[in-house]
Amino acid sequence: MDHLCGKTIIASGFHTTKRGDIDHFQNALISIGDDGAIASVLRPHDDNYNEQKDSQKAAGKLVTLPEGAYLLPGFIDLHIHAPQYPQLGSALDVPLEVWLQKYTFPLEARYADAAFARKSYRLLVDDLIANGTTTALYFATIHQEATRILADICLEAGQRALIGKVAMDNVDECPDFYRDASPEAALRGTEELIGYIRSHPANAAALVKPVVTPRFIPSCTDATLEGLGALAKSCGCHVQTHCSESDWEHGYVLDRHGITDTESLDRFGLLGRHTVLAHSNLITPRNMDTIRARGSGIAHCPLSNAYFSSAVFPLKAALEKGLHVGLGTDISGGPSASLFDNMRSALFVARLLESGVDPSLPPAKRSAQSGVWIDFRDAFYLATTGGAIALDLPVGHFSPGYQFDAMVIDTAAPGGTIRLWDDLDSGENILQKIIYTASKSNIARVWIGGRDVFRSPSLKSGLK
Ligand code: GUN
Ligand code: FE
């Protein structure tokens, strides 16, 4: 393994620290400390550049990316259901409330079997890393043992992960074969997982973090929501849940609590700086103000929303209000493990929201929205720094003090799908082409916290 801890990489590539600004760095010298954090980033015009380069080379600690290879920050998947991986790309023929009961709860119930969990989770974590996902915010299942196995596997594979034992105890919405036995059981299970992850002997650097995870309001009793709100405060953990995803779900909460998901979660103390709300398609402008005031984040899941939501998330409005937004695959509601696919989906759905979709209407009447589309810079921001800010983690770009979570895009990879033309492509346009056309074959290397976690078997242009 070619770890970069204690070494320096000389690389060209892209990152974004601020929405709209793309930094195309060339031959940057990125030095990584033993703790996996970036110690310094020098550009060719910086004073110490040549000195640092020469001394690292003499010490045998300089790694050089070849021509045609671009360094990108690793992607952050802000919403993913780990146990649903076996049904990726299937079960998409019914609405959310039917999908949960017919396909998803029966599948998740199978994770009572530790051997099944181990096999499925190992495949998922390896596939995600190979897709460039260096941080994932996971929903697991209600099971203690299987969720611990997911944490073990992330630690073994070296993936940065935030993992929640799902809490769901409402007898009216959860089947008898798959629910927490009581609010006490839901809370105890959550506390036990927090203890396991925090005291894990392989987790001294807190690569894996526990997450308080009420599935969504319909699945939980008020006692569980209240208990988890108090627990989130006392343990200081991240919180994740689903929010105003579809008309059915949004309406259910209005009927039961007489207020929106956002208002209800806030009353239970579940909206904080470390909360991530999945979907949030039907949030009102006032809900947005509340989410912003609490500093909570939103996981935009464009691909999943196309199947299970009744609306497109008002992404542009959320970004312009300064909400923290990142991207989620929402496996298996979204049938792709790739953040590239989800960046593209975010771009496409924003275009459709702007243009409207009904060809029988005249163009001027097809959509009531304007100024809502985003560009590739926004999509890249969402998949990297946007997600990192939502999680409040020092990842997502290449700056001193940030963890070196990165991938190499080999534009000349065999079987790859990026076609660059010397006389046409330069600067940001190369990033645009990467975002629109890269496939898994183009991902040559992945590091997390400087640790070498993936190298493509077909890597043509080796590192020097
Ligand atoms: N709401 C509650 N559970 C789920 C789930 O597993 N997927 C999605 N998309 N929405 C949910
Ligand atoms: Fe989800």
Q: Is 237 a residue whose pLDDT tops 90? A: yes
Closest ligand to C-alpha of residue 252 is 1
Pairing, β 406-410 against β 443-448: antiparallel
Q: What angle do CA 260, 339, 100 make, to 5 degrees?
A: 45
In this prediction, residue 433 carries a pLDDT of 98
Of 77, 179, 245, 300, which is best to mutate to test ligand 1, by the most ligand atoms within 8 angstroms of its C-beta? 245
Q: Is 52 a residue whose pLDDT tops 50? A: yes
| Mean pLDDT (whole number) for 220-232 | 98
Percentage with pLDDT > 70 across the chain: 98
Q: Which atom of ligand 1 is nearest to the CA of 242?
A: 1
Q: Is 461 a residue whose pLDDT tops 70? A: no
In this prediction, residue 2 carries a pLDDT of 73
464 pLDDT tier (thresholds 50, 70, 90): low
Q: What is the pLDDT of residues 193-218, one digit of tens each?
A: 999 999 999 999 999 999 999 999 99
Nearest to 160 by CA among 455, 456, 453: 453
Q: CB under 8 Å, gap of 24 or more: what pairs does 316-321 form?
A: 316/350, 316/371, 316/372, 316/373, 316/374, 317/285, 317/288, 317/372, 318/280, 318/288, 319/19, 319/374, 319/378, 321/288, 321/289, 321/292
| Mean pLDDT (whole number) for 297-312 | 96
- Beta bridge partner(s), residue 409: 70, 443
In this prediction, residue 316 carries a pLDDT of 98
| Mean pLDDT (whole number) for 137-146 | 98
Q: What is the pLDDT of residues 277-289, one digit of tens each?
A: 999 999 999 999 9
Q: Is the CB of 213 under 6 A from ligand 1?
A: no
Q: Is 458 a residue whose pLDDT tops 90? A: no
Is 282 within 8 Å of 244 (Cβ atoms)?
yes
pTM exceeds 0.75 for this model = yes
In this prediction, residue 457 carries a pLDDT of 76
In this prediction, residue 310 carries a pLDDT of 85
Q: Calculate how far, in angstroms, residue 16's C-alpha sits from the geometric centre of ligand 2.
A: 27
Q: Calculate how far, in angstroms, residue 284's C-alpha sits from the geometric centre of ligand 2.
A: 20
| Mean pLDDT (whole number) for 336-352 | 98
Q: What is the pLDDT of residues 69-120, one digit of tens each?
A: 999 999 999 999 999 999 999 999 999 999 999 999 999 999 999 999 999 9
Q: Calculate how far, in angstroms, residue 242's C-alpha sits from the geometric centre of ligand 2.
A: 6
Q: Is 421 a residue whose pLDDT tops 60? A: yes
Q: Is 403 a residue whose pLDDT tops 70? A: yes
Closest ligand to C-alpha of residue 329 is 2
Q: Is the CB of 261 under 6 A from ligand 1?
A: no
Q: Is 45 a residue whose pLDDT tops 50? A: yes
> What domains sit in the chain, N to C, each tagged with a CATH number?
8-73+399-455 (2.30.40.10), 75-391 (3.20.20.140)
CB under 5 Å of ion ligand 2: residues: 278, 330
Cα distance between residue 111 and residue 107, in whole Å: 8
Structure tokens at 146: 């299987």
Q: Is the CB of 99 under 6 A from ligand 1?
A: no
Q: Is the CB of 79 under 6 A from ligand 1?
A: no
Q: Which atom of ligand 1 is nearest to the CA of 104?
A: 6
- Beta bridge partner(s), residue 25: 13
Q: What is the pLDDT of residues 94-108, one digit of tens each?
A: 999 999 999 999 999
If you take atom 3 of ligand 1, which residue's CA is the nearest one?
A: 215
In this prediction, residue 463 carries a pLDDT of 57
Closest ligand to C-alpha of residue 100 is 1
In this prediction, residue 1 carries a pLDDT of 45
| Mean pLDDT (whole number) for 235-260 | 98
* Residue whose pair of structure tokens reads 């929405």 in the numeric block: 19
Q: Is the CB of 334 under 6 A from ligand 1?
A: no
In this prediction, residue 378 carries a pLDDT of 98
Cα distance between residue 144 and residue 341, in whole Å: 32
Closest ligand to C-alpha of residue 80 is 2
Is 298 within 8 Å of 324 (Cβ atoms)?
yes
